[in-house]
Amino acid sequence: METERITLKSDTPGQELALSVFQFVGSNDGPAVYIQAALHSHEMPGVAALDQLMPRLVAAENEARLAGSITLVPHANPIGLAQAVYGETLGRFDANTRVNFNRSFPTDIATELTGKPAAECLKATLLTLAERADVVLDLHCDDEGPVYLYISEGQLDEGLRLARAMQAAVILTDAADDPISFDLAVGARWAVESRNADDRFAATIELRGMMDVTPDFAKQDADGLYRYLVDIGTVIDDLPAIDSVDPTMGAVDDAVLISTAEPGAILYDVLIGDWVTKGQRLAVILSEPGSAHHEILSPFDGQVMTRRDRRFARRGDDVIKVLRHPLP
Ligand SMILES: [Zn+2]
């Protein structure tokens, strides 16, 4: 394993930003893989999973079982990691520009970075590292949710392979007309470079919720990533078969965030993964104790995907995400 430290100029004097990049060199007989975590810098399940994965890759490299090279960036966002307000790491949004760290990627590879803000340089650096690979996995998590994937809709076969290895519960497909997220931006770069994007695969993996950072989950997710690396021929190993249930599949636009028209405490009626029918109560919003409560109803039949990780909502806040889907 080789460790590279890439430094980025900070936007203020007296500070330096650095990315730690871990490289595992293979024989080039299998696909090269790039995996990053914590682009939303406070999302720790992916960081914990890569920590568990690393010793297995060290062993594979030492035993000449790496057919493809692997690049890991466990903390992909040193800018966001350093930004805290009143004890809370913001993580998802740049505190200075309010731009989501997983949005607004440069589409022009030749963009001159000299004099650009650190966040733009970071995004360009991550894309440059990722686009060299054949497979790119961007590890995130939700507020509360299952393991689920975002993929572009043309890559369903590869998405299913990844979902089975990761034991993912849901795949959301994106038409990728607008490459807004990191995985789609990598795909757009491949297309611009005239590299055959069909032979390559990029996905976002949501590793449950913000609180799901435990030794067991980290091992489970490292197991899944390792199994996928073996499946695609990047790591050579002989693993026992596992039973995996095919995920629920839907278009990203069918995963609908439902907001509340009233503020207050959130009391959920349903759990992640529950199947719900149109009109079913999903949650109660308690504004004024002793007064009538506001009810959040499902607008369609479907499956509960994610819930908010706080139990207070302002008026207009998103409370729950339901995937529109026929009942099984
Ligand atoms: Zn995220």
Q: Given a cut of 70, is residue 201 above it in pLDDT?
A: yes
Question: Looking at 38-100, which runs of residues are DSSP E strands?
Answer: 70-73, 84-85, 88-89
What's the pLDDT at 108? 72
As given in the structure block, the two tokens for residue 251 are: 């278009």
Q: Which residues pair with 22 in a beta bridge?
A: 3, 72
Amino acid at the residue 188: A
Are the beta carbons of 69 and 26 closer than 8 angstroms? yes
Predicted pLDDT at 114: 86
For residue 267, the CA-to-ligand 1 centroid distance in Å is: 24
C-alpha 311 – ligand 1 centre gap (Å):
20
Kindly give the distance from the C-alpha atom of residue 142 to the centroid of ligand 1, in angstroms, as a whole number: 6
Count the helices and strands in the chain (H runs, E runs): 6, 19
Provide the edge-to-edge strand list for the sheet that holds 16-24: 2-9, 16-24, 70-73, 33-37, 135-142, 201-209, 147-152, 170-174, 248-251
Q: For residue 283, how far is its CA from the centre of ligand 1 (angstroms)?
A: 24
> What spacing in Å lies between the alpha carbon of 209 and ligand 1's midpoint?
10
Considering only the C-alpha atoms of the chain, give the largest distance between any 2 of them, rounded to a whole number of Å.
68
pLDDT at 323 over 80: yes
Please give the sequence-ordered ranges of beta strands (E in DSSP) within 25-157, or none if there are none.
33-37, 70-73, 84-85, 88-89, 135-142, 147-152
pLDDT at 280 over 80: yes
What's the CA-to-centroid distance between 90 and ligand 1, angstroms?
A: 11
Distance 266 CA to ligand 1 centre (A): 23
Using DSSP bridges, classify how beta strands 88-89 and 84-85 pair: parallel, antiparallel or unpaired.
antiparallel
The whole-number pLDDT of residue 156 equals 94
- Cα-Cα end-to-end distance for the chain: 46
pLDDT band at 113; cut points 50, 70, 90: confident
Residue-wise pLDDT for 211-248, tens only, equals 999 999 999 999 999 999 999 999 999 999 999 889 99
pLDDT at 176 over 80: no
Secondary structure letter of residue 153 according to DSSP: G
CA 241 to ligand 1 center in whole angstroms: 30
Q: If you search the block for the tokens 């439902």, which residue do you land on?
A: 258
Query: Rounded to the nearest 5°, which phi and psi values hold at 67?
Result: -85, -30
Q: Is 258 in contact with 322 (CB distance < 8 Å)?
A: yes
CA of 54 to the centre of ligand 1 (A): 21
Other CB atoms within 10 A of residue 43 CB = 23
Res 178: pLDDT: 79
In this predicted structure, what is the pLDDT of residue 244? 84
Q: What is the residue type of 90?
A: L
The string of pLDDT tens digits covering residues 39-90 is: 999 999 999 999 999 999 999 999 999 999 999 999 999 999 999 999 999 8
Centre of ligand 1 to C-alpha 73, Å, is 15
| pLDDT level of residue 177 (50, 70, 90 thresholds) | confident
100 C-alpha to center of ligand 1: Å? 9
Summary mean pLDDT of the chain: 95
Q: What CATH architecture does domain 252-324 belong to? A: Beta Barrel (2.40)
Size of the chain in residues:
328
177 contacts: CB under 8 Å, gap ≥ 6: none
Residue 175: is its pLDDT beyond 90? no
Residue 82: count of CB within 10 angstroms of its CB = 13
Q: Give residues with Cβ within 8 angstroms of 229, minimum separation 6.
A: 33, 70, 235
Residue burial 269-290, b: 16+ Cβ < 10 Å; e: rest? ebebeebbeeebebbebbeeee
* Domain 2-246 part of CATH 3.40.630.10: yes
- Cα 65 to ligand 1 centroid, rounded to whole Å: 32
Q: Check residue 106 and give its pLDDT.
A: 85
Answer yes or no: is pLDDT of 111 > 80.
Answer: no
Considering only CA atoms, which of 189, 180, 211 is closest in space to residue 129?
Answer: 189
Distance CA(220)–CA(186), nearest Å, equals 27
Query: pTM for the full model?
Result: 0.96
Report how far ligand 1's centroid is from the alpha carbon of 85 (Å).
19
Q: Ligand 1: distance of its center to the CA of 28 in Å?
A: 31
Tell me the two tokens of residue 78.
Answer: 């040193």
* Residues facing 235 on adjacent strands: 66
Q: Could you check whether 2-246 and 252-324 share the same CATH topology? A: no
Could you tell me the residue ranges of all domains in the chain?
2-246, 252-324
